[in-house]
Amino acid sequence: MSLSTLARLAGVGKATLSGLEHGTRNPTLETLWAVTAQLGVPFTALLAEPTAGPTAHGTAVTATLLEVFSDTDATYELYRMRVAPGPVQLSPAHQPGVTEHVTVFAGVLRAGPVDAPLTASAGGHLRWVSDVPHTYAAVGDEEVAASLLLRYPRR
């Protein structure tokens, strides 16, 4: 796939992708997920050392990778996630069949498909198919603490 094609499909500027490729740009979480969705790979495929516990920052979400594991049907990425009160994070669609599973430990989270977000408070769990644009937002003034499990089915 050419850089131009990937940029167009991911909705990311060609200069941004070129900068990422050369290590001169610092991508946002939204940019990385848009690129991996178009490449049809898990987010961690872009990381040099998936077990190193990298942290990615988005508009509202900070996610720290805890573990990557696979079985015969899927690859999973487990993150510790924080959602700051105030901004809403819009995440691009992942490749077909990807699901997200969020367990909320503190705060109230509204997340899921843009047209049908779900809400959970501490102790609650959300699940949605994330091959559509989706959002994350803290409800109220308290930061949300949660775990995020992404399931990428094998093609």
Q: Kindly report, residue by residue over 112-144, the tens digit of the pLDDT.
A: 999 999 999 999 999 999 999 999 999 999 999
Tell me what pLDDT residue 121 has: 97
Q: What is the pLDDT of residue 30?
A: 76
Task: Give the pLDDT of residue 44.
Answer: 67
Burial of 35 (0-12, 13-18, 19+ CB in 10 A): buried
Q: Summarize pLDDT for 19-69 with one digit per residue, the tens.
A: 877 778 777 777 877 888 787 777 766 665 544 567 888 889 999 999 999
pLDDT above 80 for 71: yes
84's CB contacts (< 8 A; 6+ apart) are 60, 61, 62, 138, 143
pLDDT at 7: 84
**Residue 127, SS3 per DSSP:** strand
Orientation of helix 3-10 relative to helix 14-22, angle to 10°: 120
Binned at pLDDT 50, 70 and 90, residue 76 comes out as: very high
What's the pLDDT at 74?
94
Q: How far is CA 73 from CA 8, 117, 130, 151, 154, in A?
A: 30, 27, 17, 10, 6
Average pLDDT over residues 148-152: 95
Runs of H (alpha helix) within the chain: 3-10, 14-22, 29-39
Q: Which residue has the tokens 């495929």?
A: 45
Q: Is the pTM of this model over 0.85?
A: no
The mean per-residue pLDDT over the stretch 95-106 comes to: 95
3-state secondary structure of 1: coil
Kindly tell me if the per-residue pLDDT of 79 is higher than 80. yes
Say if residue 3's pLDDT is above 60: yes
Amino acid sitting at position 26: N
Looking at 26-88, list the stretches that DSSP marks H as alpha helix, in order from N- to C-terminal side: 29-39
* pLDDT for residue 52: 52
- Two structure tokens written together for 69: 């594991």
**Which pLDDT value is given to residue 132?**
94
